[in-house]
Amino acid sequence: MIQLGKKQILKIVRQKEFGVYVGDETESVLLPSKDVPKQARMGDELEVFVYRDSSDRLIATTRTPAVTLGEVALLEVKDTGKIGAFLDWGLEKDLFLPFKEQTMPLRPGKKVLAALYIDKSDRLCATMKIYDHLKTDAPYEKNAWVRGTVYQVNERFGVFVAVDERYHGLIPANLVHQPYRVGDEVEARVLNVREDGKLELSPRHRMDVQIGKDAETVMDVLDSYCGVLPFTEKAVPAVIERELAMSKAAFKRAVGHLLKEGKIVITDGKIRKKEDEDPTVRS
C-alpha cells in the first residue's frame, strides 16, 4: 500500500518516457524521469517519498524532505499569504502551513518548528501545534544538559520546549525567571524524567554549582550599577527577576555566598561591592 507523506520501498512496475511507475500492479505512483536513478531497471526496488504535486496528484521522489509524516523539523518560511504560509522542505512544491495552524505571526526567512500531517482533504500540510507530534522516549537522564527550541509559552504551565526538535520538554512556570519567546533556542538541565517519558527542565545548574554562577551575576550587575545595588535580598521578587533574571531565593543564596567571601557589604538598604584594600595604604 502506498503511504502518503512517508518514505517507503516501492518496486518499478512500468516504464514510460516521462518516468517510471513504482508500486505494484494494483496501485502505483509516478516517479518522474529526473528522480529516477540512471542504473534503475524494471523490477528494481527504490526508496521514495510520496506527496502531492501542484495539481494534487500523488507523485514520488527519491529526494528526502526535511520532514516526514508525524515528525517535527525546523523549516524556513518562503512566503506568506492570507490563508497561510509556505515552508521550504526540500521539494519542488513548498509545504503549506494553514493560518489556523500557526501559533505566531510569520514572515519570509523566519524558521519555525513544524510537524507534517494529512488534512481532511488528504493533503500534506504543516502545523506549528506540535505537542501531539513530539516523542516521549528521550535518551536523557536526570541532570543531563539538553538543547531545544521553545514552541509555546504558557503563564500557568511554563515554557514548552522541543528537545532536539523531537522530544517533550517543559520548564515549569515556577522556574521561569526571564522572558521566553516562541522560536528561542534554549539550553537546559533535565530535572526529572516523568513516568510518561516527558522531560522536566531547568535553565539552571545544580544548586551547588548555580550559587557560584548567580554570585558572578550579582557582581556583574553591581559593576553595571557602579558598585552599588539600590536594593537587597529583601526586595520584592519582581524587582529581583527584572534586574537579575533569578528567583528571590537564588538571589538570597548568592548574596549570602558573597558576604561569606567578603566581596560585598550591606548598608543602608543597599548592597555595595567591597573594594580590595591597597596594601600600600595604611591608616
Residue carrying C-alpha cell 516501492:
10
- C-alpha cell, 226: 557602579
Last residue of a domain, one of 185, 202, 219: 202
What's the number of domains the chain is made of? Answer: 4
- Reported pTM: 0.72
Q: How far is CA 182 from CA 65, 97, 103, 199, in A?
A: 24, 17, 9, 18
In a domain, 1, yes or no: no
Domain of 252, CATH number, reads 1.10.10.10
> Where residue 25 falls among pLDDT bands split at 50, 70, 90?
confident
DSSP string for residues in 126-170:
EES--GGG-BS-----TT-EEEEEEEEEETTTEEEEEETTTEEEE
3-state SS class at 277:
coil
265 and 240 together in one domain: yes
Instruction: Identify the pLDDT of residue 282.
Output: 43
User: Which tens digits make up the pLDDT trace of 191-236?
Assistant: 999 999 999 999 887 677 678 788 888 899 998 988 899 998 888 9
- The per-residue pLDDT for range 95-125, each reduced to its tens digit, is 999 999 999 999 999 999 999 999 999 999 9
User: Do 127 and 143 belong to one domain?
Assistant: no
Q: Please tell me whether residues 91 and 150 are part of one structural domain.
A: no
Structural domain that includes position 143: 134-202
Domain assignment of residue 254, yes or no = yes
With a CB cutoff of 8 Å and minimum separation 6, the contacts of 213 are 205
Residue 183 backbone class (left: φ over 0; alpha: ψ -120 to 50; beta: rest): left
